[in-house]
Structure 1
């Protein structure tokens, strides 16, 4: 019978196979690895930058059995073990190098670099005919390498310069080899000579001199201590070549990473563990050819995983436990494979916890290996709550391409504006190719409409590199109407509660524990796998739960536990659009970090466009602006109630306004713009002058400011409500329902949500107003200055308004220095308001539509704002 080809673990030594700094875990893992490799007849082939003597020294120090062959000196020598157990240089390889790299002249290269003070020759035994080896200063290593490369290039000498760090000595290393000669070259030469195939090889490494081998097509283990740039380069090559199944990025360092990678590629047996219902939900790959499934489906008596490959279907049956969980590790399914779940041999459905739906809500799910992505944000420390300036955005309309990757190109623009966090509309997979995102049905799957899961990670990574936090909008009150197959699996939905958009989740009924777990685990999943900085929970007032431990509190506990494991702030935000004292007031650690508060915004709308009501609450114009600015809100919950002074005193004893920094306030949101029948923005309903006058009251308020995409440059494109359902009955129902929800609006000429143009017309990249963009930029910069001065504190704030004159002012008493003020005047653009004269004693910091009559007297027109330092008052006679 033919024998199985012998597997080969080709591995770098320092920083890879060898334990780091005598780490006891690495030492133990090395013995486990060696024992398993020997038991499975795996050949170990060192591929190292060490010379022969140093390699032997390391083998003896760590009691590593002598290999049959080793590649040394960065690929310039090959040694083989002789009958006496010693190592001899392989003369055939030396002859081969002399024939193919004869033009390499070590003396010429050494002479060319003789004056570089940061270079020091290593010992004689580290040099050979085809390698020049130096020590280099670690701090200047990159600059030194650049100088070497420049000199070699200018002199016409074709060489490869390989650099790295010696982990034991903390020094830089530089090797110069003939162009094309490398570890990869030597390994391939050996494989060809010995008759081995590259598919027998798994290569493990960590450094720059491993890069050529990493990119040579072998199955690859990149250990956790590799530089992020190395991991990214290798990942990108495999992604481009569609060979990510041959790439493993270990979280563990050095020796432990090699062991982890060998288990992944099944070179050695996996760690033994029992399958449990407490394992993560959905499909989690545990090796290159095995995936653990955990599916809650008590409604099914029989369940099978159906793997779909080239039109063929393989079925893998799973038995349930007593709690209705079907869990099992299935061999034959790995990352990237597509599958469905067969219920009682009757219907095939996507996985309720699917990580990706490449063919939409009705198609098969895909196994996603989240560990493959090489994150670059290890040094990112997040954004503090007090520093948040949020930019709300929708991926589909943020760029013309409407993708995760295209959005990366606009990050620098957000940085320049002063944005510190982006809040993205929901990404859970929903029906069709265009949607706001609130109709998601697979809440673990980042929608394929904008790209792949790794594409979204690249966006998050790029934001973190720019110092911007990423917050995701999630919907835990209902699922969308198309593609919602959870009813086939289990009692995910309540029999008692209902939302305006569909069935409510079962948070307090029979078997609610598993339904609650499905959502709680999802919240942590997004934060963990996508490195997000926070979640914004949509419509929390429709997350009905009458139990003793409300779901909002359970999510808070889970997110707090996760936050304790990472070195950055995690922001948990609730959205009810009104003030919810129960969310922000607890002192037992269960308070949410922030809540959306829309009362100031809607009060401004009611004053400037009184014939349009974009909320299901009443607002009374200028007087409501005054009250909303004084208190931060007008309505409270859980049932929408206009608060009175007595209730306010009970909730905020002794005028305690410490909740203000937990309110997120903006002049526009996706709701207020999208709920308009034409998707009209604030400046389109009023004027850019009105927008200039109103926005400082929100940007310089002690709450968290939020900007809706396109607002900052008075975007001409509307933002309409749009959906894309495959079911024509659903499309018609949504189109009719939208009009019925806001019957008081003028719907003539409005585009139906299901029409293609509702989405196409909403692209927010059209016609920018640079002047208003600069206005926003200056306001954000001023806000940050006032924050640094500890000015934007509710204790320093006084609100002074004259509703009859449409005058609204914020006054701050500075802890150290002169007071600051924001005086704004605006109303409906058609209103004829007489000018107001102001007396000021101080400095004007920013102004719009203000005329200076004298050094101390100014005239404030309608749609005007004055921001200054010092004091102000209305002139006599006003």
Structure 2
């Protein structure tokens, strides 16, 4: 086997079979050595300034955790059964976000496979996994990863992830993987000891910035790009969600995101299936998803927090923090018709103008991933409470209807489809006492400034916080939960069956509203929602021919209007 490691400014030796072996340095700063090493062989690298041998920065397998040795892994040895898989494109799809550790009681890839049939019956198309690359400790959200090339061993390691992807493909489900390239986690981040992976010019809220445009940054960019290609090629993943790309500092003429889009497009042509890159960004800048031919970066989609904020504030009445500008029906109309609420407009939270308008006739709605709930918007609340803890069943149904009939790519968060009662809280398992205390105290201090008593904020390090966040799979069939699950199934099926509801063009969306109702017309399909606690008669501005779906009984169609029960929604076919 050929061992290779990039160490441009110091010497390095390979430790294998208990023996330190000299390596040969190339002019490119890469050290190489050919050695007999079968799959399953442990190895590490010895640096002159490191107190102990270190894992490979590109380690494919860390069976003893991020501080242990790396292990040789043969990607070609896995027996895939998805040869007939032709992929799943993002346009027209419904995403489902889940965390492997809390999706099932066992918290493993193999246990998650057992629940894939539930997702098939639900009707979703793409399963989005929160980060699974190796991090220190047994469990956390996944955003503290340090071994970017190695799937987390407690979840099932490399073969476990491949089994999950293979099983998903067998059921017609695509897989999107959340990846983090804006920082390394706080424990076990040894890559910067090998080479200048970190920038000398600043940090972001989660750690030191990655060196994307400084000296020797070409190889750092290659480190990221090769990781992207590995997940898509070697693990057969169908797309990646790029975490917080606004925290990637890159002043290069060719931005890293554009570079990734080019390379992924080439790989897609090679493997013969669609591959998607989805950015998380708070910049409200459509340049990310504008095609390269038009001067953009050419990513396939981006998360749209403004849609979430508009829906959440309208339904819950919350207005604190960054929710301050949201909450009106005018706001909802703006995001449904134009994707962003802040589009070069004043943001009171930021105290400046924010965002850039979307060209409604050239940027399709499917390039915006919209959601009522996600891991951040639940887990970053003090007690991790879901919408099911905040809203009446009627308003839960109204929210689901508005999301799944909007002109965007909808995404559900695990358990949302049955109004799960379990919270999803912020949990960590840092073994270092100092780091554990810092996380615990930081969390409590953060929410103390918002008026929360420290005892009310769950301890991230308490195993009970993690256990509380696991889904209860006894709930979907119980009263109250089963009704919500049935609605989600019907909404997704209707979205898939009505071409009007999958039409991505924002300039075809027409929205009007009163004080407590909103109507959305998309071609021959009209959605009317009553947010009031009393019945309302709502103008449809067209003649309804039949009810396609109603969230409550008692809907009455009239000549050009509909009578809606309290806190209800209806979808009608209209002339």
> TM (normalized to structure 2)?
0.92
* Pairing 1:627–2:334 present: yes
**2:551 is matched with which residue?**
848
Structure 2 distance, partners of 1:517, 1:645, is: 32
* Pairing 1:564–2:290 present: no
**1:411 is matched with which residue?**
116
**2:26 is matched with which residue?**
321
- Larger mean CA deviation between 388-397 and 779-788 belongs to 779-788
**2:235 is matched with which residue?**
530
* Pairing 1:778–2:490 present: yes
Structure 2 distance, partners of 1:855, 1:796, is: 25
Structure 2: gaps spanning 5 or more residues: none
Alpha-carbon distance, 1:806 to partner: 2.2
Change (3 A) 1:553 1:424: same
Residue pair 1:677, 1:745 contacting (<8 A) in 2 also: no
**1:285 is matched with which residue?**
none
Structure 2 distance, partners of 1:799, 1:623, is: 10
Structure 2 distance, partners of 1:445, 1:639, is: 43
Residue pair 2:66, 2:134 contacting (<8 A) in 1 also: yes
Change (3 A) 1:431 1:370: same
Aligned match for 2:371, one of 622, 646, 666: 666
Alpha-carbon distance, 1:452 to partner: 2.4
Residue pair 1:319, 1:327 contacting (<8 A) in 2 also: yes
**1:264 is matched with which residue?**
none
Residue pair 1:823, 1:865 contacting (<8 A) in 2 also: yes
Change (3 A) 1:645 1:638: closer
Q: Equivalent residues in 2 for 1:591-740 (5 A)?
A: 591-611=298-318, 613=320, 615=322, 618-635=325-342, 648=357, 652=359, 655-656=360-361, 658-740=363-445
Structure 1 distance, partners of 2:150, 2:255, is: 25
Equivalenced residues, count: 559
Residue pair 1:534, 1:571 contacting (<8 A) in 2 also: yes
**1:10 is matched with which residue?**
none
Residue pair 2:344, 2:353 contacting (<8 A) in 1 also: no
**1:338 is matched with which residue?**
42
Change (3 A) 1:841 1:565: closer
Structure 2 distance, partners of 1:439, 1:793, is: 37
Residue pair 1:850, 1:866 contacting (<8 A) in 2 also: no
SS of aligned partner of 2:554: strand
- Larger mean CA deviation between 858-867 and 773-782 belongs to 858-867
Alpha-carbon distance, 1:491 to partner: 0.5
Tell me the alpha carbon deviations over residues 70-98 of structure 1, each in whole angstroms, 9 at most, x when there is no partner: xxxxxxxxxxxxxxxxxxxxxxxxxxxxx
Structure 2 distance, partners of 1:587, 1:525, is: 23
SS of aligned partner of 1:564: helix
Q: Which has the higher contact order (CA 8 A, sep 6+)?
A: 2
Structure 2 distance, partners of 1:407, 1:622, is: 39
* Pairing 1:451–2:156 present: yes
Residue pair 1:634, 1:642 contacting (<8 A) in 2 also: no
Structure 2 distance, partners of 1:870, 1:583, is: 36
Tell me the alpha carbon deviations over residues 572-611 of structure 1, each in whole angstroms, 9 at most, x when there is no partner: 1111145321111234284110100021211222223334
Aligned match for 2:16, one of 289, 307, 315: 307
Alpha-carbon distance, 1:620 to partner: 3.8
* Pairing 1:750–2:457 present: yes
Alpha-carbon distance, 1:702 to partner: 1.6
* Pairing 1:860–2:564 present: yes
* Pairing 1:292–2:15 present: no
SS of aligned partner of 2:188: coil
Residue pair 2:309, 2:323 contacting (<8 A) in 1 also: no
Structure 2 distance, partners of 1:618, 1:725, is: 37
Structure 1 distance, partners of 2:351, 2:307, is: 14
Residue pair 1:850, 1:865 contacting (<8 A) in 2 also: no
* Pairing 1:469–2:174 present: yes
Structure 1 distance, partners of 2:142, 2:344, is: 25
Structure having the higher Rg: 1
Structure 2 distance, partners of 1:611, 1:638, is: 21
**2:506 is matched with which residue?**
794
Structure 2 distance, partners of 1:344, 1:644, is: 50
Alpha-carbon distance, 1:637 to partner: 8.7
Residue pair 2:365, 2:504 contacting (<8 A) in 1 also: no
Alpha-carbon distance, 1:749 to partner: 2.1
Structure 2 distance, partners of 1:298, 1:429, is: 25
Structure 1 distance, partners of 2:165, 2:248, is: 28
Structure 2 distance, partners of 1:637, 1:746, is: 34
SS of aligned partner of 1:336: coil
Residue pair 1:579, 1:595 contacting (<8 A) in 2 also: no
Structure 2 distance, partners of 1:739, 1:749, is: 9
Structure 1 distance, partners of 2:538, 2:258, is: 50
SS of aligned partner of 2:537: strand
Structure 2 distance, partners of 1:642, 1:394, is: 34
SS of aligned partner of 2:385: coil
Structure 1 distance, partners of 2:355, 2:192, is: 46
Alpha-carbon distance, 1:471 to partner: 0.6
SS of aligned partner of 2:464: helix
Structure 1 distance, partners of 2:275, 2:352, is: 31
**1:838 is matched with which residue?**
538
**1:585 is matched with which residue?**
290
Change (3 A) 1:488 1:410: same
Change (3 A) 1:636 1:360: farther
Alpha-carbon distance, 1:627 to partner: 1.7
**1:37 is matched with which residue?**
none
Alpha-carbon distance, 1:796 to partner: 3.1
